[in-house]
Structure 1
Amino acid sequence: MPTGRREVQVRPGVEADLKALTDLYNHYVRETPITFDTAVFTPEERRPWLLSHPEDGPYRLKVAADADTQEILGYATSSPYRAKPAYSTSVETTVYVAPGAGGRGVGTLLYEALFAALAGEDLHRAYAGIAQPNEPSVRLHERFGFRHVGTYREVGRKFGRWWDVAWYEKEL
């Protein structure tokens, strides 16, 4: 799928992607309030996360890579919303786009592939928590039919300040 002048391939994430996916996530840990993790991860520490997203089922990992170089441009996941059994038909979704790959439609391609893969699963709702402010993420989620259902005020503290998280939901 073309974005800008480069072709992007979206596929399931595999073990060979672990280092690149860890590096991408660590950028957000170090540089942004997008995630509330505050310490970077090693690939070994992230392996259980990767393995918890198989190629089938409700918990998926989709990776966007440059078709020529195979450089990872971003990823999207669906993960358990909460651990209790009654939540099993709900997932939490997220998208991370590599620095420099924003504004090229990578997030859109990832969510298209993720929601297409989830279409046959026994799922009722998807939820997304977006640390504020993050207008590009809000626009992406709204484009995919998510609607704002509430905001947790000053729920996380990172970089010496408090951050709000806006919650969005989408019917599946």
Structure 2
Amino acid sequence: MEQLTIRSADPELDAWACAHIYAPYVTDTVVSFELDPPSAPEMAQRIGSAIEWLVAVRDNDVVGYAYAVQHRQRAAYRFACDVSVYVHRGSHGLGVGSELYRQLLDRLERRNYRTACAGITMPNDASQGLHTALGFTRVGVYHAIGWKFDAWHDTLWMQKHLGGSGPPAGEPG
């Protein structure tokens, strides 16, 4: 088995693979609150508009991805981003998600982002464990916030501080 490579996503080259990885999370689980899987063109648009979007490649196949998008639109939130990671089912438990997140968080910190936020549909012990292992802390729960598969679902919010605790060195970018 080839070594895992992490690289920036290319909207044209990686959209189909990312859409393929994500689709079962939409159709078969409450991990995603989307109801219909996005198409490859929609995924390409998402890749292009993200702050960062990384893919994990093994044996020339994309086996996972992680991304960051702006947390909120108000100017004071400009140093915060929401992050997510999705791994192909055949690659769970192999460290793909951890490596994607490590590199994503490092890039975000170098770009002067100070807070990474993650929303996790509960229960999801694997995702909560991954985030905890990478230094995220629990900040709260939105109760009965998402309606999917004829039931209400809670979302746990976690965050990780990036960089120091003082004023930012400059604007994110």
> SS where residue 104 of structure 1 aligns?
coil
2:28 corresponding residue in structure 1: 31
How far apart are the structure 2 equivalents of 1:103 and 1:137? 11
Letter aligned with residue 72 of structure 2:
R
Which sections of structure 1, spanning at least 5 residues, go unmatched? Answer: 54-58
Identity of aligned residues (%): 34
**RMSD of the TM alignment (CA)?**
1.1
Instruction: Pick from 69, 77, 84 the counterpart of residue 79 of structure 1.
Output: 69
Aligned residue runs from structure 1 range 72-151, under 5 A: 72-151=62-141
Letter aligned with residue 121 of structure 1:
R
2:168 corresponding residue in structure 1: none
How far apart are the structure 2 equivalents of 1:110 and 1:44? 23
1:171 corresponding residue in structure 2: 161
Q: Is residue 43 of structure 1 aligned with residue 35 of structure 2? A: no
How far apart are the structure 2 equivalents of 1:8 and 1:142? 23
Letter aligned with residue 30 of structure 1:
T
How far apart are the structure 2 equivalents of 1:170 and 1:116? 12
How far apart are the structure 1 equivalents of 2:158 and 2:8? 24
- Quote the offset at 1:51 in angstroms: 0.7
How far apart are the structure 2 equivalents of 1:125 and 1:108? 18
TM-score normalised per structure 2: 0.89
Count of residue correspondences: 161
Q: Is residue 62 of structure 1 aligned with residue 54 of structure 2? A: yes
How far apart are the structure 1 equivalents of 2:43 and 2:3? 28
Structure 1 stretches of 4+ with a deviation exceeding 2 A read: none
**1:22-81 C-alpha deviation (Å, 9 max, x unpaired):** 11111211111011000122111222201113xxxxx10110011x2x111111111100
Letter aligned with residue 152 of structure 1:
Y
How far apart are the structure 2 equivalents of 1:129 and 1:81? 11
2:169 corresponding residue in structure 1: none
Which sections of structure 2, spanning at least 5 residues, go unmatched? Answer: 163-173
> SS where residue 45 of structure 1 aligns?
helix
- Quote the offset at 1:6 in angstroms: 4.3
Q: Is residue 52 of structure 1 aligned with residue 45 of structure 2? A: no
TM-score normalised per structure 1: 0.89
How far apart are the structure 1 equivalents of 2:133 and 2:37? 31
